[in-house]
Amino acid sequence: MTAEKADAPNEQAVPRVPGPSAIDITPDNDGGVLKEIIKEGSGFDTPASGSKVSVHYVGTLTDGTKFDSSRDRGKPFEFNLGKGSVIKAWDLGVATMKRGEVAVFHCKPEYAYGASGSPPTIPPNATLVFEVEVIDWTGEDLSIKKDGGITRYQINKGEGNITPNDGAMVEVKLIGKYDGRVFEEREVTFHLGEGSEYGICEGLERALEKFKKGEKSRIVIKSKYAFKAEGKSEFNIPPNADIEYEVEMKNFEKAKESWSLDSDEKLEQARLFKEKGTNYFKAEKYNLAIKMYKKVASFTEFDTGFENENEKERKSLLLSSHLNLALCYLKLSENVEARDHCDKALEIEPKSEKGLFRRGQANLGMGEPERAKIDFEAVLQLEPNNKAAASHIIICNKKIKEQRGREKKIYANMFEKFAQRDREKEEEWRRNQPDVMKTLGEWGKDERDREMTDFERENPNILMLDSTGDEFKNM
């Protein structure tokens, strides 16, 4: 909705005043927005905050002067409800409407364009009248990529504006449905970010990050954010199935942020997350372990406020977090990330055997045996009896030999192709050269005009010089 002047000329202006059926829909009942239903909508649903709503509207002043109309433009207007992208009256009014409903809203200045108006079409302190038709709406897209994979339809918006952060302890009540059938109903308490350990799918956990305390919403989750291609046999859910949850955020307690802690508290949190990460690693839950080790790094990456023994422990925890992250990524065959964390570990401790060895493994996994060999040789310099490093050098040498053999064949084939191309070009050049003897004859034209000498008759195969003795006439 804009304050642009409508494209079509105004019909005869008819003053607009609220009718007897107009009701006050403002939270404080201050008369700022009065609603009259012109046509009832269908169903029971109304759009929730965050929904993308499609409407047609006609905006007029109270004297009937039209200043804007989507109908004149022939295109519905779309906006995100409850996000402040339109005037307050619209966020309030459209939230009360059903699909297909047509209503008229009488909007006082404080719920419209206020004391300044919107020149040149809307004067200061103007009361506005909007006729609005709700065509349709979709829920709020909560997916990071905005691909429609996680959609929220609010039932109860909850309290305040605070939402849980990563690591927050959340207490939720949930009802999961597939194809209209309830497949689970329970209450669960867990740390946000560790939901998979409690059977919480990716899409649901992502949605909970946006919930307020007391909020109740319906979450529609596409298969790639739910149980993916594997499905969930426990719940009799087939592969690639879309599901939905009705979720209530009963309570949550935000996790402590690093900036709010002193050095002792940061170390305490880092120790706790390191222990959690190690437990997840032992259980081969590498993605969860990665989350925990990243937490360790977040509490120890900056040295501000650490002194003496605390500083030593901070560096030790930070070093171990990067080494452990590298190991987790190696387990997942994510070699680029593994090498990055090895580099960070080696910035802290250049002679870290684990850092060098794991970087060598990452380089080997990325098909770079020469770089890997350098790392494994560095390990042997620090620990000559390291059998693992020695065996990996043998592997590197084999890979390097194979690689060079392949390169040799590639270059040999390349050079042979170039040589063959040169031979073909030379042969083509020769074919295109004129046959001098056939073209010009045995003698030049002026030589043929004179009579042959006795010598020429006796020696027909000998070419004769011209009169100057400088060149052959027939060349």
Residue 453 structural domain? 435-475
Q: 297: which residues sit within 8 A by CB, 6+ positions away?
A: 318, 321, 322, 325
Residue 322 identity (one-letter amino acid): H
Instruction: Classify residue 10: in a domain, yes or no.
Output: no
Q: What is the pLDDT of residue 61?
A: 96
Based on the fold, state whether residues 166 and 125 are members of the same structural domain.
Answer: no
Based on the fold, state whether residues 38 and 95 are members of the same structural domain.
Answer: yes
Unique residue bearing structure tokens 């401790």: 349
Based on the fold, state whether residues 207 and 294 are members of the same structural domain.
Answer: no
Please tell me whether residue 80 adopts helix, strand or coil conformation. Answer: strand
Based on the fold, state whether residues 196 and 72 are members of the same structural domain.
Answer: no
Q: What is the pLDDT of residue 412?
A: 67
Q: How far is CA 471 from the centre of its chain?
A: 80
Q: What is the pLDDT of residue 458?
A: 73
Please tell me whether residue 177 adopts helix, strand or coil conformation. Answer: strand
422 given a catalytic annotation: no
Annotated catalytic residue, options 130, 273, 281, 329? 130
Q: 42: which residues sit within 8 A by CB, 6+ positions away?
A: 98, 99, 100
- Which of 397, 426, 447 terminates a domain? The answer is 397
The enclosing H or E element of 24 equals strand 23-24
111 given a catalytic annotation: no
Q: 147: which residues sit within 8 A by CB, 6+ positions away?
A: 141
Q: What is the pLDDT of residue 44?
A: 87
Q: What is the pLDDT of residue 406?
A: 80
Q: Are 193 and 167 in contact (CB under 8 A)?
A: yes
44 given a catalytic annotation: no
Residues 99-110 have pLDDT tens digits of: 999 999 999 999
- The whole-angstrom separation of Cα 427 and Cα 406 is 31
Tell me how far CA of residue 327 lies from CA of 45, 266, 281, 290, 296, in angstroms. 50, 24, 9, 10, 15
- Which of 138, 163, 197 terminates a domain? The answer is 138
Give 220's strand partners. Answer: 151, 244
Q: What is the pLDDT of residue 8?
A: 45
Based on the fold, state whether residues 373 and 248 are members of the same structural domain.
Answer: no
Instruction: Classify residue 419: in a domain, yes or no.
Output: no
pTM score, whole prediction: 0.70
Annotated catalytic residue, options 77, 87, 221, 252? 87
Based on the fold, state whether residues 181 and 134 are members of the same structural domain.
Answer: no
Instruction: Classify residue 143: in a domain, yes or no.
Output: no
Q: Are 124 and 117 in contact (CB under 8 A)?
A: yes
Annotated catalytic residue, options 77, 105, 111, 113? 113
Based on the fold, state whether residues 283 and 392 are members of the same structural domain.
Answer: yes
Q: What is the pLDDT of residue 473?
A: 45
Based on the fold, state whether residues 90 and 191 are members of the same structural domain.
Answer: no
Annotated catalytic residue, options 57, 273, 306, 357? 57
Based on the fold, state whether residues 106 and 231 are members of the same structural domain.
Answer: no
Structure tokens at 324: 């452990």
Q: Are 1 and 68 in contact (CB under 8 A)?
A: yes
Based on the fold, state whether residues 119 and 237 are members of the same structural domain.
Answer: no
* Ranges in the chain, pLDDT < 50: 3-10, 441-443, 469-475
- Which of 348, 380, 397 terminates a domain? The answer is 397
Structure tokens at 421: 């191309």
Other Cβ atoms within 10 Å of 302 Cβ, number: 13
CATH number of the domain encompassing residue 344? 1.25.40.10
> How many domains, in total, are found in the chain?
4
Q: What is the pLDDT of residue 462?
A: 62
Q: Are 109 and 126 in contact (CB under 8 A)?
A: yes
113 given a catalytic annotation: yes
Based on the fold, state whether residues 286 and 380 are members of the same structural domain.
Answer: yes
178 given a catalytic annotation: no
Annotated catalytic residue, options 67, 211, 281, 376? 67
Q: 36: which residues sit within 8 A by CB, 6+ positions away?
A: 18, 19, 21, 22, 23, 103, 104, 105, 106
67 given a catalytic annotation: yes
Based on the fold, state whether residues 266 and 356 are members of the same structural domain.
Answer: yes
Other Cβ atoms within 10 Å of 251 Cβ, number: 12
